[in-house]
Amino acid sequence: MTNFMVNGNVARAAKTRMATTPSGQQTLVTDFNVAVNDGNGDTELTTYYKVTLWGQKGANLAPYLTVGKEVNVQGIPGQEKPWTGEDGQVRAGALTIRRALVQLKGKKTTNEAPAEEADLPFPEE
């Protein structure tokens, strides 16, 4: 199994929703995007990754995943899902990352609540 790591900034704040698994169970799913910049000046390229966290641990992490927050994400790469823009052009989608371990980077901001040990998100095995 391939493991994959990116270090970037949250590009779209986390949103948590309920989803039904193929076995019919209801579970929490948290999605957010990470932007990774490579190069500089005219050669700078930004790559976007869609990260999906399943279960309560992702929901606990969601309030901390605000736009601009630096994160490290480690997980299993999923498939790229193309999408169609308003102009009708088909575009490459963001590479998805599943079964992710997310580490928050940088200093705690004043509006962040302190994390308790029980609230720290870890990947579900």
Number of domains in the chain: 1
Could you tell me if residue 107 is inside a domain? Answer: yes
57-111 pLDDT per residue, tens: 889 999 999 999 999 988 887 777 776 778 887 776 666 776 767 878 876 555 5
14-35 pLDDT per residue, tens: 999 999 888 999 999 898 988 8
CATH number, domain with residue 75: 2.40.50.140
Could you tell me if residue 56 is inside a domain? Answer: yes
- What range defines the domain where residue 46 resides? 4-119
CA distances, 27 to each of 18, 38, 44, 65, 112 (Å): 6, 35, 38, 20, 25
Could you tell me if residue 124 is inside a domain? Answer: no
Could you tell me if residue 105 is inside a domain? Answer: yes
Q: What is the DSSP letter of 53?
A: E
Q: Place 122 in a pLDDT band, splitting at 50, 70 and 90.
A: very low
Residue 38: burial class (beta carbons within 10 Å; 0-12, 13-18, 19+): exposed
101-110 pLDDT per residue, tens: 787 887 655 5
Three-state DSSP state, 10: strand
Is the pTM for the entire model greater than 0.85? no
Could you tell me if residue 125 is inside a domain? Answer: no
